[in-house]
Structure formats: structure tokens, C-alpha cells
A = this chain, B = another copy of it.
Amino acid sequence: MSGAVRQKPLIGTVAILGVGLIGASLGAAIKRAGVARRVIGAGRTRSNLDAAIAGGCIDEATTNERDAVVGADLVVLAAPVDASVGLLERIVAFLAPAAVLTDVGSVKRPACLAAARVGLAARFVGGHPMAGGTATGAVNADAELFQGKLTLLTPTVQTSESATTVVTTLWERCGARVRYVDADLHDRVVASVSHVPQFLSVCLAEMCATDPNAELLGDAAAGGFASVTRLAMSDPDMWLAIAAANTEPLGEAMEAFGRRWQELTRAVRAGDQTVLRLAMETARRFKESTGK
């Protein structure tokens, strides 16, 4: 392959296993930044693979993940969280000896453990781009999706430095900022800032949906309701898999939220303006200081 690229390609061939919103967007970002010479996408749905090619997210498509990884220098697992572990087991025998692996899943401990179990501890770098949306599929891919966003990587003491460097550079060239974090800590952090918000959205919308006055509630709901329940439009299958993969940290974070909620409820009942004001001011300062 000739053709001028803006920077020297970091990698020869990248195989992306799963070309949904994240996988296809990463492919598009890789191709645009000239990070790899060739991007192969593997997936089960032909129409989605066609959309990925048509959208310039991948150069080649296959429905056979083994064909995709043979000869790949970097393998990105971008299937749903519950599929990635099985995927690792199925492809391990077909990997090039020096291939580096990473993933993009929302839960990191199971993926890192699975990589170690199949003997890939040195070459697997867990990854999680803090980007996404309620839209799904290659048809919604966006090469800008990771621009200015954080990607958390979870290398362990067993991970080789060169593998970490490859994956770090990949994300940085795709516009992301990289931060390293322990996989267990990662799973607790995302439970609080990503998974709990998801289920809060669902819980509120479901509570209103099953209210005897649901029609009136739906009519009266305005911008605040829409904003808090926006995530309830997300893909149920993806979130069932995340909940199953992050049971312990998510359960703990949900219980912590439940305790906090009880305290606020008691404060409302008791008219305790001190507790309510402190909560509101603490919440507001956090949002102001983080810009989130």
C-alpha cells in the first residue's frame, strides 16, 4: 500500500472485532489519522459491515473473526462486554506472536482476567473510551467521537511496556486523552459515573410509565425529565451485559446511592433545609469544578 498519510503509520494491520458505534467510530478515526495501513472489521451482520465500509470506517470486512486476526498487529475487541471474553478464547490460537490486544468495554476486570487466563497478560491492555451515545451501529459512526475525550487504560504489572505504548499512541492519535487506572478501580468509578446514571434514568422513566396517571405525567414532563431520563433510550442488551459483568461494583454503587437517597428523602420529610442546601451546593460545585 502506498499513498501519503499525515503521520507514519503506527501499525500495519488493525483488526476490529465488532463494528458497532464504538468499533466503527474507532476504525474511522484510525483511518483518518493514518494510524494503521489497513483496518479489517469483523462482525456478524453483513448489512452493518457494509455500512462500515461505505462509511469509510474499515478497509475490509469479514464475518469470520479468525480471518480478521490472522496477521493483525493490533486486535481491538469491540463486541458487547459479554461477547469479548468468549471472543478472546476463540481467537487466541490465531494471533500473530507479537500481536497487541485491547478492548473498549465498559467493564475492565473480567476482560483483564480473561486475557491473563488465555496467556495474553503481557499483550492485552484493557481500554475504555469515555464516549458513546444512545445511537448504535456502524451507520452512526463518527471519526470525531473520541476527540478531546478521555480513554481509560488498565495495564497491569504483567502488561509489557511496548503493548501499553502502542495502545496509548493509538488513542492519542485518534484524538483522545489517555489515563491509566487499576482495572478494579475503573470498574468502581464507571459504576458511579456511568452505570448508576444509566439505571437512574431507567428507574425514573419506568416509575412514571407505571404510574396510574402515566398519561398526565407524560404530558406534564418537561426538559428536566427529558434530561434525567435521556439514557433510558440506550440499548437494553448492551446494558444487561454491563450489569452482568460489573455486578459487585454496580450493586455497591447502587446501594450507596440508595442510602444517600434515603437521607435526602428524610431531609425533605423533616424540612431539613441544612442537609438539602449542603447537598445542592456540593453537587453544584462538583459540576462547576469538573465542567461535567
Question: Cβ of A286: which chain B residues have Cβ within 8 Å of it?
Answer: 205-206, 208-209, 214, 218, 232
The residue in chain B whose Cβ has the minimal distance to the Cβ of A279 is B206
The tally of residues in A whose CB lies under 8 Å from a CB in B reads 90
Contact residues, A223-256 vs B (CB, 8 A): 223-234, 236, 239-240, 243-244, 247, 250-251, 254-256
- Contact between B280 and A150, CB atoms less than 8 A apart: no
The docked-state distance in angstroms from the alpha carbon of A282 to that of B255 is: 23
Copies in the complex: 2
- Contact between B227 and A208, CB atoms less than 8 A apart: no
Of B131, B243, B268, the contact of A251 (CB 8 Å cutoff): B268
Task: Kindly specify which of A45-53, A89-97, A164-172, A191-199 makes contact with the partner chain.
Answer: A191-199
Can you sample 23 A-B contacts with CB below 8 Å?
A: A133-B223, A193-B208, A194-B221, A194-B224, A197-B224, A201-B224, A203-B260, A205-B284, A207-B260, A218-B286, A218-B292, A221-B290, A222-B292, A227-B230, A228-B230, A232-B286, A234-B280, A243-B271, A244-B271, A247-B269, A247-B271, A251-B269, A258-B258
Is A283's CB within 8 Å of the partner chain B? yes
Question: Cβ of A130: which chain B residues have Cβ within 8 Å of it?
Answer: 220-222
Q: Describe A's contact surface by its main secondary structure.
A: helix
Of B190, B207, B219, B232, the contact of A287 (CB 8 Å cutoff): B232
**Nearest-Cβ distance from residue A3 to partner chain B, whole angstroms:** 34
Is A17's CB within 8 Å of the partner chain B? no
**Nearest-Cβ distance from residue A7 to partner chain B, whole angstroms:** 27
Of B197, B226, B243, the contact of A204 (CB 8 Å cutoff): B197
Question: Cβ of A287: which chain B residues have Cβ within 8 Å of it?
Answer: 205, 229, 232-233
Q: A193-B208, A233-B288 given. 15 additional CB < 8 A pairs?
A: A130-B222, A133-B223, A185-B213, A188-B213, A197-B227, A203-B279, A204-B257, A206-B286, A225-B292, A226-B292, A228-B228, A232-B284, A232-B287, A243-B268, A261-B261
Question: Cβ of A213: which chain B residues have Cβ within 8 Å of it?
Answer: 185, 188-189
Is A200's CB within 8 Å of the partner chain B? yes
Is A116's CB within 8 Å of the partner chain B? no
Question: Cβ of A200: which chain B residues have Cβ within 8 Å of it?
Answer: 200, 204, 228, 261
Is A216's CB within 8 Å of the partner chain B? yes
The residue in chain B whose Cβ has the minimal distance to the Cβ of A201 is B228
Is A85's CB within 8 Å of the partner chain B? no
- Contact between B206 and A236, CB atoms less than 8 A apart: no
**Nearest-Cβ distance from residue A259 to partner chain B, whole angstroms:** 9
The docked-state distance in angstroms from the alpha carbon of A36 to that of B273 is: 39
Question: Cβ of A150: which chain B residues have Cβ within 8 Å of it?
Answer: 219-220, 222
